[in-house]
Chains A and B, each alone.
Chain A
Amino acid sequence: EAGVAQSPRYKIIEKRQSVAFWCNPISGHATLYWYQQILGQGPKLLIQFQNNGVVDDSQLPKDRFSAERLKGVDSTLKIQPAKLEDSAVYLCASSLIGGDRGTQYFGPGTRLTVL
């Protein structure tokens, strides 16, 4: 079974530029998550989708971050404009179902460096 795919793996941009990350979840997984992991910390949930609807985006900085999941499969996360403090690893995860029965499977992440 193929895992969660993410691209790119690494991205370096200057502050105020825009950047987009792509995630392809495990086939059949209804729930998709985006996390931000700052160096030395645990991942923090940014947004959770159930199919193509948003379940939780309470910690998404909506003035600069946006995410979409068209057709309930792939998802993109965009930052515009980027700030220095956005330097982090962005992790995508998926689960078969939501709630406490859904083990989350993580992709390798995209490491973003903002200069």
Chain B
Amino acid sequence: SQQGEEDPQALSIQEGENATMNCSYKTSINNLQWYRQNSGRGLVHLILIRSNEREKHSGRLRVTLDTSKKSSSLLITASRAADTASYFCATDARSGKLIFGQGTTLQVKP
């Protein structure tokens, strides 16, 4: 079953703009992770935020986590055409078992 639900399902922006994707989940978690998937390729791990953390940064990525609302957001600043991909949130409730959401498809136009 899918635990995380991403919003929006699709997002189209111009290069240089910021992109924000949201993820909601249903049960308690140990951590939440974001992955990127380019068309026809495997998933690449972007960032992991633990349940006791509220915000984390990695380069142009900023992730927030609100466990009271069971939600997370991924912000990509100053987007580039190379950021075009699908982005998935995945929750880890126990033992490293990840439950993925449906994903947000991001298109960055040059």
Contact indicator per residue, chain B 87-104, by CB within 8 Å of chain A (1) or not (0): 010101001111111110
Instruction: Choose the segment among B11-19, B37-45, B58-66, B77-85 that binds chain A (4+ C-beta atoms closer than 8 Å).
Output: B37-45
Known interface pairs A41-B102, A100-B30, A103-B48. Does A109 touch B41 (Cβ–Cβ under 8 Å)?
yes
Which residues 67-103 in A have Cβ within 8 Å of B in the complex?
A: 91, 93, 95, 98-100, 102-103
**In the complex, A56→B44 CA distance in Å?**
23
CB–CB A106/B44 < 8 A: yes
CB–CB A48/B44 < 8 A: no
CB–CB B30/A109 < 8 A: no
In the complex, what residue of chain A is closest to B51 when comparing beta carbons?
A100
CB–CB B96/A91 < 8 A: no
CB–CB A43/B43 < 8 A: yes
In the complex, what residue of chain A is closest to B99 when comparing beta carbons?
A45
Say whether A65 faces chain B, with CB atoms less than 8 Å apart: no
Measured between beta carbons, the chain B residues less than 8 angstroms from A55 are 95
**In the complex, A103→B35 CA distance in Å?**
11
Measured between beta carbons, the chain B residues less than 8 angstroms from A100 are 30-31, 48, 50, 92, 96
Known interface pairs A42-B102, A100-B92. Does A56 touch B42 (Cβ–Cβ under 8 Å)?
no
Known interface pairs A100-B30, A100-B31, A100-B50. Does A45 touch B98 (Cβ–Cβ under 8 Å)?
yes
Closest 6 CB pairs of A and B: A42-B100, A106-B42, A100-B30, A98-B96, A106-B43, A100-B31
Inter-chain pairs besides A44-B2, A91-B43, 10 sampled, C-beta below 8 Å: A4-B42, A43-B100, A44-B100, A99-B95, A100-B30, A100-B92, A103-B48, A105-B45, A106-B42, A106-B43
User: Can you list 17 A-B contacts with CB-CB less than 8 angstroms, sorted by A residue number?
Assistant: A4-B42, A40-B102, A42-B100, A43-B98, A56-B97, A91-B42, A98-B96, A99-B96, A100-B96, A103-B33, A104-B96, A106-B35, A106-B43, A107-B42, A108-B41, A109-B42, A111-B40
